[in-house]
Amino acid sequence: MHHHLDWYAYTNRLRSLHPAQKVLFSFGTLGVAFFAHPLVQGLLWFWLILWILGYARIPWRVYALLLGTVIAFWGLSLPALVVQVVPNPALELAGLTPFAQLSLGGWSLVVTSESLKQALATGLRTAVCSTALLFLVLTTPFPSLLALAARWGVPSFVLEILMLMYRYLFTLWETALTLQLAQRARGGYLRRSRWLFSVSLLAAQLLRQSLYRYQQINLALLSRGFQGQFRILHPPSYVYSQRYGLEILIGGGALIVLNTMVA
């Protein structure tokens, strides 16, 4: 992506919507997605996509890239979700009907239809829950979330930890991209034999550069009279939208009623 996530959080069509309204909607849909029927989860997913791509006007490439990263981690966990290692006598006693089976000695690698359904259900739930959180990240500036958390009574040390973690995530990302670009310019990833060496060198330099950036930021804070406490910027006032509020109530209520009917 050529922009940070902050750029979309500050320029989307829902930037003036009150953060509390977006937080309640995001965490409400997140809770529903955990326990809803797969049909309701699918409808909720399309509804969240409408909010992100339609109402907020976030580019679909950005959403696809972020969601694709999450789906990639789900794909890496597929073997553990789908494949079962079962002794052959236990397989016969259990009466399982394998969808696919590979026998090795006295053991069998088994893929059943139940495990496939479980893996697909996990993937759908992962996509819906991730979309609910991406809606909040892509439409709400982080200082607004911190200010809202402070008004809701979250301890100050928790807010400071969140602020530093959020800041250093982008610092780490920028440093990694800069180092990788320098390696590619020197042919560090042209051959497979050099790929592993380049990755290990990148990790070592990334740690060194991150510590150096931390020291520079610490010196900058001390030179400006830092007293050990960050002050959270309170952004300008936002507005509650009755139109979006009604859609959330009606749409959420309809999904809950539908879930009780199909469950």
Mean pLDDT of 58-71: 92
For 81-122, write each residue's pLDDT tens digit. 887 776 766 655 555 666 666 666 767 677 777 888 888 999
* pLDDT at residue 58, as a whole number: 94
Name the band, by pLDDT with cuts 50, 70 and 90, for residue 80: confident
* pLDDT at residue 51, as a whole number: 96
For 120-156, write each residue's pLDDT tens digit. 999 999 999 999 999 999 999 888 888 888 888 888 7
Q: How many angstroms from the chain centroid is the CA of residue 21?
A: 20
CB 153 within 8 A of CB 98: no
Q: Tabulate helix, strand, coil % of the chain (nearest 5).
A: 75, 10, 20
* pLDDT at residue 179, as a whole number: 78
DSSP conformational letter for 17: B
* pLDDT at residue 22, as a whole number: 94
**Domain boundaries of the chain, sorted by first residue:** 1-79+125-140+237-263, 142-234
Checking if the pLDDT of 56 tops 60, the result is: yes
Q: Which two tokens stand for residue 261?
A: 């009917």
- CA–CA dist 45, 41 (Å, integer): 6
Checking if the pLDDT of 163 tops 60, the result is: yes
- CA–CA dist 232, 159 (Å, integer): 9
CB 17 within 8 A of CB 244: yes
For 35-45, write each residue's pLDDT tens digit. 899 999 999 99
Checking if the pLDDT of 160 tops 50, the result is: yes
Which run of H or of E encompasses 111?
A: strand 107-112
As to burial, measured by CB atoms within 10 angstroms (0-12 exposed, 13-18 middle, 19+ buried), residue 97 is exposed
CB 120 within 8 A of CB 41: no
Handedness of CA 211, 217, 219, 225 (dihedral sign): negative
Residue 52 vs residue 93, higher pLDDT: 52
- CA–CA dist 162, 150 (Å, integer): 12
Residue 240 vs residue 213, higher pLDDT: 240
* pLDDT at residue 107, as a whole number: 72
Q: How far is CA 263 from CA 27, 38, 233, 254, in A?
A: 22, 10, 45, 14
Checking if the pLDDT of 1 tops 50, the result is: no
> Does the pTM of the predicted model rise above 0.85?
no
* pLDDT at residue 83, as a whole number: 79
Mean pLDDT of 165-170: 76
- CA–CA dist 138, 8 (Å, integer): 6
Q: Which two tokens stand for residue 144?
A: 């607004």
Report the C-alpha dihedral over residues 71, 72, 75, 81, rounded to 10 degrees. Answer: -70
For 178-236, write each residue's pLDDT tens digit. 777 877 777 777 776 677 777 777 777 777 877 787 788 778 877 877 666 666 666 66
For 7-20, write each residue's pLDDT tens digit. 898 899 998 899 99
Task: Note the helical H segments in 86-191.
Answer: 88-94, 113-139, 142-151, 156-185
- CA–CA dist 78, 116 (Å, integer): 9
Name the band, by pLDDT with cuts 50, 70 and 90, for residue 62: very high
